Structure 1
Amino acid sequence: MINNNKFYIENLKNVVFIGYNPDFSKLININNDLQIDSDIITSSDQSIEINHKHIIFDKAGKEFRSYISDNFNIDNTLFISLGARIIFKKDLIKFLKYNLINFHDTRLPYDSGGGGFSWRIMREDRINNQLVHLIDEGIDTGPIIDNKLSIFPSDCKIPIDFENYRQKAFVDFYKGFIQCIKGGENFELKNQVNYVGRYNPRLSTIDNGYINWQYNPYELINFINAFDNPYPGAITFLNRGDFGRLHIKSVQLHGGDSSNHPFMAGIVSRHDKDWIVVSTSGKHSLLIQEVINEKGENILNEISPGDRFFTPNEYLEKAVSDKIIYTALGKK
Structure 2
Amino acid sequence: MIKNNKFYFNELRNVVILGNLESLEVIKKINDSLKLNTFLITSPSFKNNSKNIKIKIFKKLNNSFLNYIKSNFNIEKTLFVSFGPRWIFKKNIINKLFKKNLVNFHSSRLPIDAGGGGFSWRIMRNDRLGNCLVHLVDEGIDTGPILKNNEFIFSNDCKTPMDFEKQNTKYFHAFYKSFIMDLKLKKKIQIKYQSQNLRRYNPRLDTKINGWIDWFNSSNEIFNFINAFDEPYPGASTFVGKNKVRLKQVHLHGGEINGHSFSTGIIIRKNKDWIIVSTTDNNCLIIEKVLNSKNQNIIKTLREGDRFFTPVSQLVSSRSKRVFYNSISKKSFIKK
Q: Does 1:159 align with 2:161?
A: yes
| 2:279 aligned partner | 280
Secondary structure at 1:17 match in 2: strand
Q: What letter matches 1:81 in structure 2? A: S
Percentage identity across aligned positions?
49
Secondary structure at 1:195 match in 2: helix
- In 1, Cα distance between the equivalents of 2:194 and 2:273? 49
| 1:199 aligned partner | 201
Displacement after TM superposition at 1:262 (Å): 2.3
- In 1, Cα distance between the equivalents of 2:134 and 2:84? 13
Q: What letter matches 1:102 in structure 2? A: N
**TM-score, normalised on structure 2?**
0.94
- In 1, Cα distance between the equivalents of 2:274 and 2:44? 41
Q: What letter matches 2:78 in structure 1? A: T
| 1:51 aligned partner | 49
Displacement after TM superposition at 1:325 (Å): 1.2
- In 2, Cα distance between the equivalents of 1:36 and 1:123? 40
Secondary structure at 1:132 match in 2: strand
In 2, are the aligned partners of 1:268 and 1:304 still within 8 Å (CA)? yes
Q: Does 1:108 align with 2:110?
A: yes
**TM-score, normalised on structure 1?**
0.95
Secondary structure at 1:128 match in 2: strand
- The farther-off stretch of 310-319 and 299-308 is 310-319
- In 2, Cα distance between the equivalents of 1:220 and 1:188? 42
- In 2, Cα distance between the equivalents of 1:326 and 1:56? 20
Secondary structure at 1:171 match in 2: helix
Correspondence 1:195-234 to 2 at 5 A: 195-234=197-236
Secondary structure at 1:325 match in 2: strand
Aligned residue-pair number:
327
Displacement after TM superposition at 1:209 (Å): 0.6
Displacement after TM superposition at 1:283 (Å): 1.2
| 1:249 aligned partner | 248
Displacement after TM superposition at 1:57 (Å): 2.7
Query: Could you list the per-position Cα deviations for residues 159-191 of structure 1 after superposition, in whole angstroms to 9, with x for gaps in the alignment?
Result: 111111100100110011111111111101011
Which stretches of structure 1, 4 residues or longer, exceed 3 Å deviation after superposition? none
| 1:260 aligned partner | 259
- In 1, Cα distance between the equivalents of 2:319 and 2:44? 28
Shift in CA distance, 219/267, structure 1 to aligned 2, threshold 3 Å? same
Query: Could you list the per-position Cα deviations for residues 121-167 of structure 1 after superposition, in whole angstroms to 9, with x for gaps in the alignment?
Result: 11111111111000011111111101111111121111111111100
Q: What letter matches 1:59 in structure 2? A: K
Q: What letter matches 1:2 in structure 2? A: I
Q: Does 1:75 align with 2:70?
A: no
Query: Could you list the per-position Cα deviations for residues 93-145 of structure 1 after superposition, in whole angstroms to 9, with x for gaps in the alignment?
Result: 01210000000111111001010110001111111111100001111111110
Q: CA RMSD in A?
A: 1.3
Displacement after TM superposition at 1:63 (Å): 2.1
Q: Unpaired runs of 5+ in structure 1?
A: none
Q: What letter matches 1:51 in structure 2? A: N
- In 1, Cα distance between the equivalents of 2:133 and 2:278? 41
Query: Could you list the per-position Cα deviations for residues 201-251 of structure 1 after superposition, in whole angstroms to 9, with x for gaps in the alignment?
Result: 11111111111111110111000010111111111111122xxx3110000
Q: What letter matches 1:257 in structure 2? A: E
Q: What letter matches 1:212 in structure 2? A: D
Displacement after TM superposition at 1:266 (Å): 1.0
| 2:151 aligned partner | 149
- In 2, Cα distance between the equivalents of 1:327 and 1:18? 18
- In 2, Cα distance between the equivalents of 1:44 and 1:4? 39
In 2, are the aligned partners of 1:44 and 1:328 still within 8 Å (CA)? no
Displacement after TM superposition at 1:82 (Å): 1.1
- In 1, Cα distance between the equivalents of 2:306 and 2:184? 62
Secondary structure at 1:26 match in 2: helix
Secondary structure at 1:145 match in 2: strand
Shift in CA distance, 217/4, structure 1 to aligned 2, threshold 3 Å? same
- In 2, Cα distance between the equivalents of 1:208 and 1:41? 33
Secondary structure at 2:99 match in 1: coil
Q: What letter matches 1:219 in structure 2? A: E
| 1:31 aligned partner | 31
In 2, are the aligned partners of 1:9 and 1:99 still within 8 Å (CA)? no
